[in-house]
Chain A
Amino acid sequence: MRIAMLGLGSVGKGIARAILEQDLGLSLTAVADSKSGRIEPSGIDIASMLEQKERTGMCGTPGVGAADILASDAYDILIEVSPTNAETGEPALGYIREALSRGMSVVTSNKGPVALDYQSLHLLAKEHGAYLRYEATVCGAIPIMHTIESGLAGNTITKLYGVFNGTCNYILTRMAEEGLTYQQALLEARELGYAEADPTYDVKGIDAAIKLVILANAVWGMEKTLDDVEITGIDGVTTAAIALAEEQDLTIRLIGEIIPAEDVLRVSPRIIPKSHPLVVEETLNAVAIDTEMAGEITLIGKGAGSLETASAVISDLLFIRDCHGRRS
């Protein structure tokens, strides 16, 4: 199966390495970064392409870009892993639309387009007989979409809640464990590369809220946007508040929750028993799914990282390959 990939940052490199190192039956035939691109229908030599990227900052020839790749016949599935824009979704949104309109399936890790325009992308894919998959957009390596779609098929999901942001979880964990102030814990998270220079997106709960929007729209077919989520971040949480909770074997975590029956879509710091399965350490993510038949299922795993995100993307690729032609 021939793969084209747009974006060669940390996630893109992880995917390229996985294709190179594991015998998955996938061939990378086109790739573009922000400055260059290459199209090789017979298959790219990934090792030398990565080496060139490392050395020059470019994966191919300047002037070759996403548009050339999208218009070529060199691929069967597009992997869209360019940087996220939460406000417009562009340019990724345009790339995804273009590929779907050509009947090509798309796998993306890009939260912006999926959160902003899920319904119309979903329809576009259906219209052209293509797949759109986005496992990597929510909870990194945790197979939340596959679990709900396949593993829990036939179940009604009554509630979904969890820890969707590793940065916030790290900060709260450190405040609880070491009695650090919010500012100290944030600084530490930055030094370790867990928080961006501008941490607003994470600590204000926006990142977690975007994931809830994706889940609400994809799992229940709702038509929600970021404005529909009630959001409270962790930037007001004090070490003293956590200490008060800890007196009773409780702690504080940033929890995102969707309860469709009550029209609840909320991200907020919550008091939670330390023994609760959602109380995970450091940058881990955790999500609990309440169902009618299966009861409660809790998934815990890494929510970010190059190889971890690559794992989610690869699973989507293989899902499309293995299901292709099987659907009615």
Chain B
Amino acid sequence: MPFPFPPYNVVKDLSRSRLKYFQDAINVQVSMKLEMKDSPGQLVSVIQPISEIGGNILSVIHERDPAVKSDVLDVQILCEIPEGSLEPLLESFKQRGVSVLRIGEERLLVRRSVILIGHLIHTDISDTIGKIDSTGFAEVHALSMIMPAINEPSSTKMTIKSDSLANINRALDILRDVARQKEFLIIEPLEDV
């Protein structure tokens, strides 16, 4: 018989694994203007640290002005990184000889996924999505649906995106109301304190 509960290291070390349990993905969108030596392979020293902290690059603008004869190169980068990881990222740039010229405004991005079970399509799915999207403070970011058979309830994972935890909670309140009216079951993540 298999060991009936998670391995001891998981049970033992609650404090360290805390972050992992937190199911709202909280990211920060940040734009940066960086300066580095203009030599082959240097872009890696920008990209690698971002990937190491679990970040995601949204855009890279890498312009070379032929009129300027300089041995340095400017790169503008827009990326999404986990909350609290900006400081280590800047430190990592410094160690690799990348100078940070400017850091743009940080924007918080919070995502929460819930599972909806019921007749989502037949109860006007675009109306359901519209109830969230029309708030102005939250939007439906992704949908993933499994429809087992006609007339059987479908199961849908819905991810809602917003700029703060408070607004995510407001959006969820709206969704709970809709779920009550349209009679579908909403399964929410267990939140940690």
Contacts and interface: CB of A to CB of B under 8 A. Distances in A.
A238 interface: yes
A244 B115 contact: yes
Interface in B94-137: 113-115, 117-118
Contacts of A238: 117, 146, 148, 153, 155
A270 B193 contact: no
Given A238-B148, A245-B115, A275-B10, A270 B188 contact: yes
Contacts of B17: 275
A300 interface: yes
Interface stretch (A15-23, A34-42, A184-192, A290-298): A290-298
A3 to B, nearest CB: 33
Given A275-B10, A286-B5, A241 B117 contact: yes
A272 B190 contact: yes
B5 A282 contact: no
A280 B5 contact: yes
A102 interface: no
B4 A244 contact: no
A271 B185 contact: no
A280 B14 CA distance: 16
Given A241-B117, A271-B23, A236 B185 contact: yes
B193 A159 contact: yes
Nearest to B18: A296
A271 B148 contact: no
A296 B188 CA distance: 22
Interface string A144-164: 000000000000001101000
B88 interface: no
Interface string B1-41: 01011100011001101001101000000000000000000
A221 interface: no
A300 B154 CA distance: 34
B144 interface: yes
B55 to A, nearest CB: 19
Nearest to B188: A270
Contact of B188 (A159, A271, A284, A295): A271
Contacts of A236: 117-118, 153, 185
Interface residues of A, number: 38
A269 interface: yes
A273 B21 contact: yes
A216 to B, nearest CB: 18
Contacts of B58: none
Contacts of B170: none
Contact of A270 (B20, B153, B189): B189
B146 A244 contact: yes
B115 A252 contact: yes
A279 interface: yes
A84 interface: no
Contact of A232 (B11, B185, B193): B185
A237 B193 contact: no
B5 A237 contact: no
Interface of A: 158-159, 161, 232, 236-238, 240-241, 243-245, 247-248, 250, 252, 255, 268-273, 275-282, 284, 286, 290, 295-296, 298, 300
The 8 closest A-B pairs by CB, nearest first: A240-B155, A240-B146, A241-B155, A271-B189, A270-B190, A244-B157, A236-B185, A281-B4
Interface of B: 2, 4-6, 10-11, 14-15, 17, 20-21, 23, 113-115, 117-118, 144, 146, 148, 153-157, 185, 187-190, 193
27 contacts: A159-B193, A232-B185, A236-B118, A236-B153, A240-B148, A243-B146, A244-B115, A244-B146, A252-B187, A255-B190, A268-B188, A271-B23, A271-B188, A272-B189, A273-B21, A275-B10, A276-B21, A277-B10, A278-B190, A279-B6, A280-B4, A282-B4, A284-B4, A296-B14, A298-B11, A298-B14, A300-B11
